[in-house]
Homo-oligomer: A and B are copies of this chain.
Amino acid sequence: MSEARKRLSELARLVGGKVVGDGGVEIERVRSIEEAGAGDITFLTHPRYRSHLKSCKASAIIVGPDLPLPESLPPGRGYLQVSQPYVAFAKILTVFSPPLQYDRQISRQTTIDPSAFLGKGVTVFPHVYVGRGVKVAGGSVLFPGVFLGDGVEVGEECVLYPQVTIREGCRVGNRVILHAGVVIGSDGFGYAGEGKKRIKIPQVGTVEIEDDVEIGANTTVDRATLGRTIIGHGTKIDNLVHIAHNVVVGERSLIVAQTGIAGSTRIGKEVILAGQVGVVNHIEIGDRARIGPQSGVPHSVPPGAWLSGGIAAAPHKEWLKVMALLPRLPKLWSAVRRLELKVAELARRAGKGGKVHARR
Contacts and interface: CB of A to CB of B under 8 A. Distances in A.
A70 interface: no
Interface stretch (A18-26, A115-123, A272-280): A272-280
A183 interface: yes
A252 B240 CA distance: 24
A100 interface: yes
A220 B202 CA distance: 23
Interface residues of A, number: 141
B186 A179 contact: yes
Contacts of A217: 165, 183, 186, 220, 222
B326 A342 contact: no
A183 B84 CA distance: 32
A227 B32 contact: yes
A67 interface: no
A295 B97 CA distance: 38
Contact of A296 (B91, B293, B330): B293
A311 B326 contact: yes
A246 to B, nearest CB: 8
Contacts of A54: none
Interface in A204-220: 204, 214, 216-218, 220
Q: Among the interface residues A32, A217, A356, A359, which one has the most CB atoms of the partner chain B within 10 A?
A: A217
A321 interface: yes
B280 A257 contact: no
B218 A32 contact: no
A127 to B, nearest CB: 5
28 contacts: A30-B204, A48-B282, A86-B193, A90-B199, A94-B202, A97-B202, A111-B126, A129-B144, A162-B163, A165-B217, A179-B183, A180-B186, A181-B218, A189-B236, A189-B257, A216-B220, A256-B262, A278-B294, A294-B296, A295-B311, A308-B320, A311-B326, A318-B327, A325-B329, A326-B326, A336-B339, A339-B339, A346-B350
Given A278-B293, A345-B358, A347-B346, A111 B90 contact: no
A110 to B, nearest CB: 9
A356 B330 contact: no
A286 B37 CA distance: 29
Interface stretch (A6-14, A72-80, A133-141, A298-306): A298-306
Interface in A311-344: 311-323, 325-330, 332-333, 335-336, 338-344
Contact of A109 (B111, B191, B323, B326): B111
Q: Oligomeric state, in number of copies?
A: 3
Q: Among the interface residues A89, A109, A327, A347, which one has the most CB atoms of the partner chain B within 10 A?
A: A327
A156 interface: no
A335 B326 contact: no
A142 to B, nearest CB: 12
A309 B318 contact: no
A106 to B, nearest CB: 13
Contacts of A165: 145, 161-163, 180-181, 217
What 4 A-B pairs have minimum CB-CB distances, sorted nearest first? A309-B313, A341-B358, A295-B313, A307-B313
A346 B345 contact: no
Contacts of A204: 1, 30, 93, 97
B309 A315 contact: no
A4 to B, nearest CB: 12
A215 to B, nearest CB: 10
A354 interface: yes
